[in-house]
Amino acid sequence: MQTETEPLVLDEIDRKILAELQEDGRMTNVELARRAGISPPPCLRRVRRLEEAGYIKGYHADTDGHKLGWQIAFFVIVGLESQKLSVLEAFEALVATWPEVRECHMIRGGGDFLLKLVARDAAHENQLTQRLTNAAHVARVQTLQTIRTSRALSGVPMDRLYG
């Protein structure tokens, strides 16, 4: 789950395992083995191998943000007034300290970021966008409020892979 070694050659069974764990990460190894068509011991060894090689980076419960009091999810495109590495890194370091920032993607080669945030309510959202606007070297802030999410798949398609 951390060791990060060489690239592996994955076969059909490995892909099936990845697909199943992407879908249900808490499935028992017995059930996983059944679905993969092999017995539990080699199945577990494959899972461990995938974890150690970094193909599986971790496992996460998918929680209901709305029920947990995070009524709002939104994206923000942030433009910085500089493309200097130090400025970019400072911005990343800053937002990394905000728990409401769940994702931070650098886009278009530098100077711009796409963030995904959550907020407890509209006031909280405004506070967050204000904080972003006032942050050092921030030139532009465009908010994309999520009205509804019709699809939110984790991971990648597991059909026709290279691996």
Partner DNA sequence: ATATAGACGCAATATAATTGCGCGGGCGCG
Partner DNA sequence: CGCGCCCGCGCAATTATATTGCGTCTATAT
Interface characters, 40-69, with its own copies (x: CB under 8 A)? -------------xxxxxxxxxxxxx-xxx
DSSP 124: H
Question: Which of residues 29 and 71 has its CB atom nearest to DNA in the complex?
Answer: 29
First to last CA, the chain: 17
Are the C-beta atoms of residues 12 and 159 closer than 8 Å to each other?
Answer: no
Interface characters, 85-104, with its own copies (x: CB under 8 A)? -------x--xx--xxxxxx
Interface characters, 94-123, with DNA (x: CB under 7 A)? ------------------------------
Rule CB under 8 A: is residue 146 a binding residue for its own copies?
Answer: yes
CB atoms closer than 10 angstroms to residue 9: 8
Number of residues that bind its own copies (CB under 8 A): 66
Question: Which of residues 1 and 122 has its CB atom nearest to DNA in the complex?
Answer: 1
Q: Which of 5, 85, 134, 151 binds its own copies (CB under 8 A)?
A: 151
Distance of alpha carbon 96 from alpha carbon 76, whole angstroms: 15
**Residues of span 122-141 touching its own copies by CB under 8 A:** none
Burial of residue 39 (number of CB atoms within 10 Å: 0-12, 13-18, 19+): exposed
Distance set, CA 74 to CA 117, 120, 157 (Å)? 5, 11, 25
One-letter amino acid of 16: K
Coil, helix or strand for 43? helix
User: Site residues (CB under 7 A) for DNA?
Assistant: 13, 28-31, 38-42, 44-46
Name the residues that contact its own copies, by CB under 8 A.
7, 18, 21-26, 53-65, 67-70, 73, 75, 77, 92, 95-96, 99-110, 112, 114, 118, 120, 144-159, 161-163
